[in-house]
């Protein structure tokens, strides 16, 4: 517990610097281009359009919900959080190497470095959430209490994948094999996490139970319950239990890995 409190305290004490560095990193991504910030959202928007055309128009596999919500909202409910998660799985697992000058020269708290990256990417994610809500209202969907699940999903996603990024970046710093493992698993996770298929339509009970322990599936489910299915997440208690178990396990793993590697990491980066 003392280690966890130390991780939180070190970031709270540097909160202004963390926010400033996050905004600097965000601006750096669009530097040197005419359109600037537009490119931060261009790729996700293109991906959404291509998947929508391929699945609903091409394969005709999409259909609206019983309450009139279009298939596009269901698709965006999975893809919008996935874009953030994909970045945290990819670049996020080597974020200490990305900001190694903070470790070696400035002696910045290691625990705060993944937060810098996570905050910068969260700004892009919030822009995509805004786009999702624009599409939601353009299709005439109601302003209701179910939408409150979106900020809950955002907070849970931010905290969980911060812990994952921090843990993975520590392990990646001491072992390149771990980084290669995460990179290899990124694409399979997309196809196996219910991003472009409904896990509840599988008809295989044991497989659905396993998928409930996948945090990516849980986050996508929260988004879809808010904008498409119009359900509350507690109506699916197995999903809550599965995410809670993985969340606690991830927190324990982060604390244990940090405690064992934080002295070694500055020497190997």
User: Tens of pLDDT along the chain (269 residues)?
Assistant: 788 888 888 888 888 889 998 888 887 776 656 556 777 788 889 989 998 888 877 666 666 666 668 889 999 999 999 999 999 998 888 888 788 778 777 778 888 889 999 999 999 999 999 999 999 999 989 999 999 999 999 999 999 999 999 999 888 887 777 778 887 888 888 888 889 888 887 777 788 888 889 999 999 999 999 999 999 999 999 999 999 999 999 999 999 998 888 777 766 66
Q: Tell me, what's the pLDDT at 268?
A: 67
Residue with tokens 């009139």: 68
> How many whole angstroms separate alpha carbon 158 and alpha carbon 54?
30
What tokens were used for 134? 């624009």
Enclosing domain of residue 116: 12-268
pTM of the model: 0.90
Q: Tell me, what's the pLDDT at 59?
A: 66
Q: Tell me, what's the pLDDT at 213?
A: 92
170 within domain boundaries: yes
137 within domain boundaries: yes
> How many whole angstroms separate alpha carbon 238 and alpha carbon 17?
39
> How many whole angstroms separate alpha carbon 75 and alpha carbon 128?
13
Q: Tell me, what's the pLDDT at 63?
A: 61
146 within domain boundaries: yes
Contact partners, residue 243, CB within 8 Å, separation at least 6: 156, 212, 213, 215, 218
Q: Tell me, what's the pLDDT at 104?
A: 74
Specify the number of domains making up the chain: 1
213 within domain boundaries: yes
Q: Tell me, what's the pLDDT at 94?
A: 82
How many Cα atoms within 13 Å fall on the side-chain side of residue 106?
12
Q: Tell me, what's the pLDDT at 33?
A: 61
5 within domain boundaries: no
Contact criterion met (CB below 8 Å) for 169 and 242: no
> How many whole angstroms separate alpha carbon 218 and alpha carbon 46?
24
Q: Tell me, what's the pLDDT at 96?
A: 83
108 within domain boundaries: yes
> How many whole angstroms separate alpha carbon 109 and alpha carbon 92?
17
- 98 class by beta-carbon count within 10 Å (0-12 exposed, 13-18 middle, 19+ buried): middle
Q: Tell me, what's the pLDDT at 132?
A: 95
What tokens were used for 87? 């970045």
157 within domain boundaries: yes
3 within domain boundaries: no
């Amino acid at each position: 517990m003392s280690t966890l409190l130390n991780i939180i305290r070190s970031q709270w004490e540097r909160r202004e610097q963390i926010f400033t560095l996050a905004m600097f990193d965000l601006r750096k991504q669009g530097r040197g281009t005419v359109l600037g910030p537009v490119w931060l959202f261009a790729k996700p928007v293109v991906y959404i359009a291509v998947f929508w055309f391929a699945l609903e128009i091409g394969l005709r596999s999409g259909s609206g919900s019983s309450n009139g919500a279009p298939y596009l909202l269901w698709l965006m409910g999975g893809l919008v959080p996935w874009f953030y998660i994909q970045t945290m799985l990819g670049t996020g697992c080597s974020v200490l190497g990305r900001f190694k000058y903070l470790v070696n020269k400035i002696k910045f708290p290691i625990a705060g470095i993944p937060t810098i990256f996570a905050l910068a990417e969260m700004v892009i994610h919030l822009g995509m959430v805004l786009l999702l809500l624009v599409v939601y209202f353009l299709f005439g969907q109601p302003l209701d209490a179910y939408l409150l699940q979106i900020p809950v999903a955002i907070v849970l996603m931010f905290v969980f994948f911060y812990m994952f990024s921090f843990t993975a970046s520590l392990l990646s710093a001491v072992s390149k094999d771990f980084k290669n493992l995460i990179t290899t698993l990124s694409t399979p996770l997309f196809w196996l996490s219910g991003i472009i298929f409904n896990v509840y339509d599988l008809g295989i009970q044991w497989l659905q139970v396993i998928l409930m322990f996948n945090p990516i599936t849980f986050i996508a489910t929260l988004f879809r319950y808010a904008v498409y299915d119009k359900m509350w997440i507690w109506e699916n208690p197995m999903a809550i239990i599965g995410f809670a178990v993985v969340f606690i396990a991830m927190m324990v793993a982060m604390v244990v890995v940090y405690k064992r590697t934080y002295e070694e990491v500055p020497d190997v980066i």
